[in-house]
Amino acid sequence: MKKVIRTLDNILTKIEENLTFLLLLSMLLAVFASFVSRYIFNAPLTWTEEFARYVMIWATFIAASYGVKTGAHITLDVLVIYLSERGNKILRIVSYLFALVYCGLVVFIGIPFINSLIETHQQSPAMHIPMYVVYSSIIVGTIFMFLRYIILLFNEMTNSNKPEEA
């Protein structure tokens, strides 16, 4: 089981790091192209701002999952200083369980919303891409976070806070 968790962690890490890099790079290139076309050629591109916005949304939700792995999210550590190690462990487990429930609810509520966007054929104003593509970032990022919390919970329950190196 540890090997499966370690493999899942490695796969998620590669996806998150590479996808976030590619999304942010494409956003940078789009904004640069917009700048060049507007101020050098005096012919603004109409789609770049929308593209950059949607790519930023995707990058945010993918990177949020990576933030779970690295512990980059905001935490409230008032209780941590007053509890024993066993109490802290229980608190972390409860915290991970709440996060799993939250992620599950977001996906459970989000999938019917995405389906309604597919049925209504809503499109973005400038690029005319289906809006479900944009909103799917919430579902994908939340599923990645769900998997991250499963990994953290497994590591906490098996007393292996860090996945072992291969």
Please state the separation of Cα 84 from the chain's center in Å.
32
Q: How far, in Å, CA of 40 to CA of 35, rounded?
A: 8
Per-residue pLDDT at 1: 86
Count the domains in the chain: 1
The pTM of the full predicted model, rounded to 2 decimals, is 0.88
- The boundaries of the domain holding residue 103 are 2-157
For the cut 50, the answer to whether the pLDDT of residue 165 exceeds it is no
Q: Does 61 fall in a domain? A: yes
Write out the two tokens for 45: 């591109």
Q: How far is CA 148 from CA 5, 23, 84, 117, in A?
A: 10, 21, 25, 27
Q: In whole angstroms, give the CA distance from residue 143 to residue 165.
A: 24
Residue 33 placed within a domain = yes
Q: Is residue 107 part of a domain?
A: yes
Contacts of 139 (CB under 8 A, 6+ apart): 106, 107, 110, 111, 114
* Type of residue found at 23: L
pLDDT digits (tens, 9 = 90+) for 76-89: 788 888 888 999 99
Calculate mean pLDDT across residues 55-74: 94
User: Residue 10 falls within a domain, yes or no?
Assistant: yes
Q: Which tokens is 103 given?
A: 């992620």
Q: How far is 88 from 77, CA to CA, in rounded Å?
A: 10
Q: Is the pLDDT of residue 39 over 70?
A: yes
The reply to whether 14 falls in a domain is yes
**Per-residue model confidence as pLDDT tens digits over 120-152:** 999 999 999 999 999 999 999 999 999 999 999
Question: What's the pLDDT score for residue 35?
Answer: 95
State the virtual CA torsion across 14, 15, 19, 21 in degrees, nearest 10: -20
Contact 62, 22 (CB under 8 A): no
Is there a domain that residue 164 lies in?
no
In a domain, 148, yes or no: yes
Domain-located, residue 163: no
